[in-house]
Amino acid sequence: MSEHFVASTLQGITPDSANEEQKEVLAAALKAVGFIPNMYANMVNVPAVLSTYLHGYAAFRQKSGFTPTEQEVIFLAISRQNGCNYCTAAHSMLADKMSGVPAPVLAAIRTGAPVPDAKLQALHDYARELVASGGKPSAQVGAAFLAAGYSEAQALQIVLAAAVKTLSNYTNHLCRTEVDEKFSAYRVD
């Protein structure tokens, strides 16, 4: 990670060190995922950051119209584009263990190789370029996304994914979030 920025000196918040507002948000996070990831402990320094993340993440997971595999392709494309090793590790674990992403697809995304599935390649390219271009993907990438069978409403769903990944990726950069043990086998550096 570049040393050309000032990293935060904020410490992760635990339920024991949390104020009442932080405790409430951490309790919701614990209910949602069963543990408090290091990222959440950092995000809750500003409770609205974690609360907004949890709400947007759940909405995307539940209502985006993308399969679990497609959701992980999107989250991985965005996290890699943003250079977030923490989220790349976490979503690699989810892709492998929970979302059914084929191993060759996951390996390609993690290494920047072509995705061996044309529809998922179009999805990956659209999500990556949406972020890389500041929300202005090229006509060619947009046309390939639509030709792969995705809709304009799903393009807007990727904006939601990019928004929640911006919250998490940027928090992880600023706080230099350590990868949790649960995700350590999928670490990238």
Question: What digits encode the pLDDT tens for the residues 145-177?
Answer: 999 999 999 999 999 999 999 999 999 999 999
Average pLDDT over residues 76-96: 97
Is the distance from CB of 157 to CB of 64 less than 8 angstroms? yes
Cα distance from N-terminal residue to C-terminal residue, the chain:
9
Nearest to 184 by CA among 37, 48, 46, 83: 37
Tell me what the pLDDT averaged over the chain comes to.
95
Alpha-carbon gap, residue 39 to 76, rounded angstroms: 16
Q: What DSSP string describes 86-116?
A: HHHHHHHHHHHHTS---HHHHHHHHHTPPPS
Q: Mean pLDDT across the stretch 12-22?
A: 95
Lowest mean pLDDT among 32-36, 39-43, 134-138: 32-36
Averaged pLDDT, 100-112? 97
The reported pLDDT for the residue numbered 8 is 80
User: Using a CB cutoff of 8 Å and minimum separation of 24, what contacts does 55-59 make?
Assistant: 56/160, 56/163, 56/164, 56/167, 57/164, 58/32, 59/160
Residue type, 80: R
CATH number of 66-186: 1.20.1290.10
Residue 1: per-residue pLDDT: 46
Model confidence, pTM: 0.94
The ranges assigned to domains in the chain are 66-186
Residue 2 has pLDDT above 60, yes or no: no
Which tens digit of pLDDT belongs to each residue from 49-82?
999 999 999 999 999 999 999 999 999 999 999 9
Taking only the tens place, the pLDDT of each residue in 108-151 is 999 999 999 999 999 999 999 999 999 999 999 999 999 999 99
